[in-house]
Structure 1
């Protein structure tokens, strides 16, 4: 609640400081007014004093309202003028000197914390004018005594000293808050610059991220394209392999496998697997392996063909090698490969008649 009472609607640090000070002083003075009202309420002649205290309370409340609205300078002057007036009433009306002159030091002190430094001199000048007025009045009076002169001189010296101290204090405080404000503005500027750099960096990062994403998508598209080509190539190779190693039925129990071109290791494996798979599916009794289109037979190919014949024999199928060309036959003999009991035929017609 206290923080809410001392809140000033402004972003200026110095105005906030002065406004909170005004509100604090006003609350203290308001408390003193309430205590004074309680003290004089039971006196026989309490009405004038109560009216004066009520007026002071109204002025203090007005000063607080002005401070809450952000009009700190006007609130400070209202408060200081009220204090000066309260100190001058006993001097000008009741002719009391001893205590009232000392009360004139209070507005000087308050001015040092709520007004600007140059305004302290105005308050001090007002107090000194009151002191001078009282001194001249005492000098012109028929019962003038030296003691009031001494009191007035001392009061003037005290007020002048407090005025100088208040001015210097206000000057130091204003300078300190000016440095704080400058530091705050520099910090805000640095924060703003940092925020701009952050936005710029975020933009650059976003741009680079977008470029990297585009590059990644391009690489991904290329990879997908290559994978599609690889899949297509694999499918084509499978088709080519099936076409290069065909196993065709020529009757209910006879299969023919015409071979064309060179036979490498991969194709030899395909020949063996496709031939045995076809035998298993068709339950054929005879497998005719046509080598008419094979120009070269090396040791690996010859041994692979013999293993195919032997594997087919284990499945209950006899094999016949057809169309072995003379140079192929010479190569097989030259390699020293034992063909054993493998049947051969010159052409497909001869093989079918076996």
Structure 2
């Protein structure tokens, strides 16, 4: 029902103010039409005459026309139709009932209609038309008739009433128009703020999407870098293991003999590597002779000598004899000067001599 009523009073307007006035015009006109088609017909049936039916039909047609004009966007034209008809209705009473001046007191209705249907400045136009029509009616009547019903006094009162009504309604309509203009301005500001907010949100979403894409790309790059680092670490670990294996290689000569050549500096780290490799290989191969070739070692200090003795003692516990081969003269002199005790280790001048000792 509400949707049907809304569609019934819909107006084709160019501005919000015109739409507001058009809705009022359509609502008033259709309301009067409804009254004429119900109460008007009932009252006419009590005294059915042709003139009454004609007047009822004409009034219904006029108000329906005003409603149609309002729906089509001709709000000012439809409003003047409604105002003029109300003015004619008030002034025509002077001719239909010339013995009473009270009909003209309905003339301010035209000003009241103008206050809700027209722009504020047009109220003065309606006031001028109403006063001109009132003056014309008063002048058109004989002076004797005017004096009999005190029409001049009544017209003066109506003139004051019309003027005051026009002033009051103008102030009210002007205030309403100003308030509506301010409301429209605030609405436009709100819409502009909403538009800017939407633009900011869209820009923020775009930036967030860009940052998210950049972070995702950075994450992918970091994962690729991490994978490369892990691969490099694994390669480094394999290289380190190879270096360890090369720093103290265990070379099987036969089922019972292992040879490990040592080249370079014999520090504590290499001694530990030598010890670990020797014990592991002896366990795996069940070797009985471990030949340590130190031909490539330039210096053997007391710490290195103690480390070699530790390797020999550990190998002996696993059932293998340790032979130290390739001690050069300067190394031998250093060991003697340091007082290193290598009596627990068998020695040989060369690797061939060490292998010959076992053969």
The interval holding the TM-score normalised by the smaller chain is 0.7 to 0.9
Question: 2:354 maps to which residue?
Answer: 351
> What are the residue-to-residue correspondences of 1:5-16 with 2, within 5 Å?
5-8=8-11, 12-16=15-19
The Cα of 1:257 is off from its aligned counterpart by 0.7
Q: Is the 8 A contact 1:138 1:148 kept in 2?
A: no
The aligned counterpart of 2:293 is 290
Unaligned 5+ segments in structure 1 are none
SS of equivalent residue, structure 1 residue 251: coil
Q: Is the 8 A contact 1:63 1:76 kept in 2?
A: yes
Could you state the TM-score of these two structures normalised by the residue count of structure 1? 0.83
Instruction: Determine if contact 1:40/1:49 at 8 Å carries over to the other structure.
Output: no
What's the counterpart of residue 53 of structure 1?
A: 56
Task: Kindly provide the CA deviation profile for residues 284-312 of structure 1, in whole angstroms up to 9, marking residues without a partner as x.
Answer: 22211111111222344333333322332
RMSD: 3.3
| Ranges in structure 2 where 5+ consecutive residues have no aligned partner | none
Q: Provide the secondary structure at the position in 2 that maps to 1:14.
A: helix
The CA deviation string for residues 149-178 of structure 1, in whole angstroms up to 9 with x for no partner, is 222222222112212222222222222222
- Point out the more displaced range, 84-93 or 288-297: 84-93
CA contact (8 A) 1:287 1:320 kept: yes
Q: Show CA shifts across 1:242-262 (max 9, x none).
A: 222211111122111111011
Mapping of 1:93-132 within 5 angstroms? Answer: 95=98, 98-132=101-135
In 1, are the aligned partners of 2:26 and 2:68 still within 8 Å (CA)?
no
Please give the secondary structure, in 2, of the residue aligned with 1:292: strand
Between the aligned partners of 2:303 and 2:78, the Cα distance in structure 1 is: 113
| Aligned pairs (5 A) from 1:188-337 | 188-196=191-199, 228-337=231-340
Q: Is the 1:40–1:50 contact (alpha carbons within 8 Å) kept by the matching residues of 2?
A: no
Which string of whole-angstrom CA distances, capped at 9 and with x for unpartnered residues, describes residues 53-83 of structure 1?
Answer: 3433343344334434444333333332333
Q: Deviations over 1:314-353 (max 9, x none)?
A: 3322221111233434444555554352222221122112
1:42 aligns with 2:45: yes
When structure 1 is superposed on structure 2, of 320-329 and 192-201 the one drifting more is 192-201
Distance in 1 between the 2:351 and 2:128 partners?
Answer: 139
Go from structure 1 to structure 2 and tell me whether the alpha carbon gap of 1:330 and 1:22 turns closer, same or farther (over 3 Å shift).
farther
| Partner Cα separation in structure 1 for residue 46 and residue 9 of structure 2 | 35
SS at match of 2:291: strand
> Is the 8 Å Cα contact of residues 309 and 344 (structure 2) preserved in structure 1?
no
Change (3 A) 1:33 1:281: same
Out of 247-256 and 83-92, give the one that drifted further.
83-92
User: How many residues align structurally?
Assistant: 354
- For 2:145 and 2:310, the matched residues in 1 are separated by 155
Q: In structure 1, what is the Cα distance between the partners aligned to 2:265 and 2:64?
A: 114
Q: In structure 2, how many angstroms separate the alpha carbons of the residues matched to 1:143 and 1:349?
A: 161
Aligned-pair distance for 1:111?
0.6
Q: Does 1:165 align with 2:168?
A: yes
